[in-house]
A = this chain, B = another copy of it.
Amino acid sequence: MTGTPRPHHGGNLSFLKRHNRSAILETVRRSPGVTRADIAVLTGLTKATVGAIVQDLLHREWLREGELRQSGGGRPGRSLHPDASRHVLLGVDAGVKSLRLIACTLAGEPLLQRHLEQAPTTPEETAGVLAARIREMLADETIRHRHCLGLGVTLPGPVAPDQPLLRLAPNLGWRDIPFLELLKPLLPEITGHWLLDNEANAAAFGEYYFHPGVPPESLVYLSASTGIGSGLVAGDGQMPTVVRGRGGLVGEIGHTILQPGGLYCHCGNRGCVETLVSGWAIRAALNIPPEQGVTEALWPRLSEPEVALTLRRAGEALGMLLLNLHHTLNPPEIVIGGSLTGLGDALLVPALDYFERHRSGLLNTDGQVAIRVLDDSTFTAARGAAAEVMARAVGAP
């Protein structure tokens, strides 16, 4: 449930077996259709070991056998795939304005999605609403007969996942909330893994974990909505890990300074990223009333010069932030999500343009950094929380 608090933990034979099972499962996830022989080559394990562990995984219904691979002069191998039909992962993203719930397969494909408007309220009330909706989902025909591996929850603020504890969610008015402790008693039927994380961290993890093809060395997720957050995931060939700071916290990239002497931010400093590109900055610059969404308010007004100029400037600031991230961490991939991506090209073209124009040639002799803008990131964080559940389940006995 919680992480290992010990500084340097030894391992026994069961640890070794879990390690190898995880390696095999990740190999199949990353390359669906591989055969046992392929796995043996890729993991460095022997045919015998792979055979035994695959049998176990087939029996647990984590893997399924597929068709025969065509052979080139020998017995054809039996292809293996993740078995997406027997289990379900639950993820919840409790945002400032809405709750997003997802139930997805081991391959990250959504089975059910729920998006509810929900004004900020007390933790207890939010937990109550969530529990009712989750129970509703669990009763749905689509997933009723699946085995639930656990539930991951994300919140919009710094989280210490080891406690687990939400430290602070300014936009919800919450502080030091052990949110899972409120939710668990309401959902005793969920016996799998429970975990809590920051929204951007979970999204970053999910984008990495369910990344199609070869996963990058590291990945940054930039969450652009009311505020600006980020998550960093590094995978050193093994299970990817979220890079966290002090006490498991993560930074608040929205409060990095881009424009010294600029506008005052609610954090007390001047010229933070959030004074230039966040939802509330755009809202303030264009006098959008609080009851209206930024995207809905601006779609009809995109041709107004004032709106176009504001979004272009915000986009350039976003580009500068991307550039700084690139020069600080050089991640092979930066994924942008959050409600602001709904503003489309008016915001994003200036951002990507700025980035491309100013990316220094000092570093990237070859390969480029890929910047991927999500069309719809409504369920990205929730799916990321589900991914974290799966990663934990893979490593569990």
Which residues of A are in contact with B by a Cβ distance under 8 Å? Answer: 3-4, 6-13, 15-16, 19-20, 22-24, 26-27, 30, 42-45, 49, 158, 167-168, 170, 175-176, 214, 216-218, 230, 232, 234, 236-238, 241, 243-260, 267-269, 320, 323-332, 358, 360-367, 369
6 further contact pairs, Cβ within 8 A, besides A255-B362, A268-B361: A8-B26, A16-B16, A168-B362, A175-B365, A218-B244, A251-B328
A42 pairs with B362, CB closer than 8 A: no
Determine whether the beta carbon of A267 is less than 8 Å from that of B324. Answer: no
Interchain residue pairs with CB less than 8 A apart (18): A6-B42, A7-B237, A8-B24, A9-B23, A168-B363, A217-B248, A218-B243, A230-B328, A234-B244, A245-B329, A246-B330, A252-B330, A252-B362, A256-B323, A256-B324, A257-B323, A260-B320, A269-B358
CB atoms of A237 and B44 under 8 A apart: no
Whether B256 pairs with A360 at a CB distance below 8 angstroms is no
Interface centre among A168, A329, A365 (most CB of B within 10 A): A329
When the two chains form their complex, are residues B369 and A43 in contact, meaning their CB atoms are under 8 A apart?
no
B contact residues around A237 at 8 Å (CB): 3-4, 6-9
Q: Judge whether A27 and B7 touch: CB under 8 Å.
A: yes
Q: Is the CB of A329 within 8 A of B232?
A: yes
Question: Known contacts A218-B245, A247-B367; is A324 also within 8 Å of B6 by CB?
Answer: no
Tell me the number of copies of this protein: 2
Q: A158-B363, A237-B3, A268-B360 are in contact. Are A327 and B256 (CB under 8 A)?
A: yes
Contact of A247 (CB < 8 Å), options: B167, B243, B254, B366: B366
Q: Which residues of B contact A10 (CB under 8 A)?
A: 19-20, 23-24, 43-45, 49
CB distance from A157 to the nearest CB of B (A): 9
Which residues of the partner chain B approach A247 to less than 8 Å between Cβ atoms?
A: 217, 332, 366-367
Contact B232 A243 (CB under 8 A): yes
- Contact for A245 among B4, B176, B245, B331, CB less than 8 A: B331
Contacts of A167 in B (CB 8 A): 365
Asked whether A43 lies within 8 Å of B9 as measured between CB atoms, the reply is yes
Contact (Cβ within 8 A) A330 B8: no
